Amino acid sequence: MPKPLQLLIVDDEIEFLEALSRRLSFRGFAVRTATSCEAALAALADAPSQVVILDVMLPDLDGLGCLRRIKERWPQVAVIMLSGHASITAGMEGIACGASDYCLKPVELVELVEKIHIAYAEALARSS
């Protein structure tokens, strides 16, 4: 049996974070959470994740700044940006900085699961 895909969800909206974590865990992912960029960086330093789901608006550093820091230290990690604020500009900037994809909240779980698998497969292909 294959090991579950390791996810890190980074969002400061606790209710959203807990609900998404439960739903993705139920789908078979190994999920950890963080509520800030610093907590996310510490979590990644502690144990690797294959995919990070990263909110654009965080309390300590915006999602784009956090994305840059993640990609500097762990370039192989796939990152999917999430935003509750419709902004094509932020999505384009995220992709330009190395994000695999960009979704608007609320995102359909089926769509997010598909994007997670695609992002992970693309990251694997780049690293081989």
User: What confidence tens digit (pLDDT) does each residue in 15-41 have?
Assistant: 999 999 999 999 999 999 999 999 999
* Residue 106 domain boundaries: 6-127
Where residue 5 falls among pLDDT bands split at 50, 70, 90? very high
Please report whether residue 39 resides in a domain. Answer: yes
Please report whether residue 104 resides in a domain. Answer: yes
pLDDT per residue as tens digits for the range 50-86: 999 999 989 999 889 999 999 999 999 999 999 877 6
Please report whether residue 47 resides in a domain. Answer: yes
Report in angstroms the alpha-carbon separations of 103 from 4, 59, 93: 23, 19, 13
The pTM of this model reads 0.95
Where residue 11 falls among pLDDT bands split at 50, 70, 90? very high
* Torsion angle defined by CA atoms of residues 5, 127, 58 and 55, in that order, rounded to the nearest 10 degrees: -60
Please report whether residue 57 resides in a domain. Answer: yes
pLDDT recorded at residue 87: 66
Q: Give the number of other Cβ atoms within 10 Å of residue 54's Cβ.
A: 26
Q: How far apart are CA 123 and CA 127, in angstroms?
A: 6
* CATH classification at residue 41: 3.40.50.2300
Please report whether residue 79 resides in a domain. Answer: yes
The helix (run of H) or strand (run of E) holding residue 78 is: strand 78-83
- Domain tally, the chain: 1
Please report whether residue 12 resides in a domain. Answer: yes
Please report whether residue 1 resides in a domain. Answer: no
Please report whether residue 40 resides in a domain. Answer: yes
- 62's CB contacts (< 8 A; 6+ apart) are 56
